[in-house]
Structure 1
Amino acid sequence: MMQVSAMIRLDHWKRLGFAILVMATLATFFWSTSRYPSLDEKAMMSGAIQLEDPLGFEALIPVEPDAPVIERIGISTVNWINTNKKGMTFGWLFGASFLTLLGYFRRRNFKGGFANSVYGMFIGAPLGVCVNCAAPIARGLFQGGSRAETTLSAMIASPTLNVVVLTMAFASRPSSPAARPGWERF
């Protein structure tokens, strides 16, 4: 009986380690090849961003301004899908891996709603994914047993509180006090 229990614990730790390895691999690949290079490119452009499509930065199919409305909507939809395919693939895979990983932990919730919200913030902020990708990840969290406030907080914190977005927000502020009317007294 003792050997069976030890084997089950060992199997549990192997599976947990594999789930963490899958999540780390997915996150590293996505962050290093897509998300952070894209955010860095946007930060370099500062306020001079030129959209090729009403819904995205790049257009697979150019949208003609004099085309019929239905055609423009269809082309913009195709361009939006093309723009988000890598991120949404990551969101679904990462959401599934979150769902798998949460199954290995007993405590996923706190008693108070505020504590659950803060917990969600600490889950979401390091992810650094866009709103589109945060939705399937939040779904995975919720399906895995996380409370609604944890899920919502993670979904909001991920696109707004990640390192690159916060750095861009502070870097875009004017540097001299003369350029910031009303800030002299601070």
Structure 2
Amino acid sequence: MPRTSEPTRERILSAAAKLFYAEGIRSVSVDAVAAKAGVTKRTLYYHFKSKDDLMAAYLEGRDQPNLALFQRWFAETTGGVADKVRGVFRNLAVSARHPKWKGCGFLRTSVELATMPGHPAMKAGVAHKKRVEDWLRATLEAERIGNAATLARQIILLMDGSFAVVLLHRDPSYMETAGDAAAALIRATAARRV
């Protein structure tokens, strides 16, 4: 593979991200990541002390971009907060229609590492999901909509549930239906406080 001006660590992470997302973290070897990045295994281990470390870095690298994407979709959707949350789900459904879409990398990793709750990649996944939930809670609090913590958790359950069902059925309309349910929950909660 030709060398690029991209720093070695970033090349390794980019290669790992592509392979882990496409094939799953357990089925991808360190040798495969090194080959895709155009580095030796020794160079990979210079930048990452273990495959576990690389897996955690892969998810940590997805954290802020994913959250920023949700925030952008929310901001770009017109209407009230219910419409904006539904907009996040609708954009997820558009993403799920792409032929290379494989679901949520954080949830897929959690399934692969279900028996290893202390694994660094599991911790990275927990931290990401918590950040998304915290963002939703803060957004709902700013709108003074009911019990924002409970409502944010309900929306996260709808979101993560829709990721699972869309992967199972290969039908992104489940995500749109989950978005409709999230919007209905927000509207019902807002109506109760009036």
Task: Choose between structure 1 and 2: higher helix proportion.
Answer: 2
Q: TM-score range by the shorter chain?
A: 0.3 to 0.5
Higher relative contact order (CA 8 A, sep 6+): 2
TM-score by length of 1: 0.33
Task: Return the index of the structure with the highest Cα Rg.
Answer: 1
TM-score by length of 2: 0.32
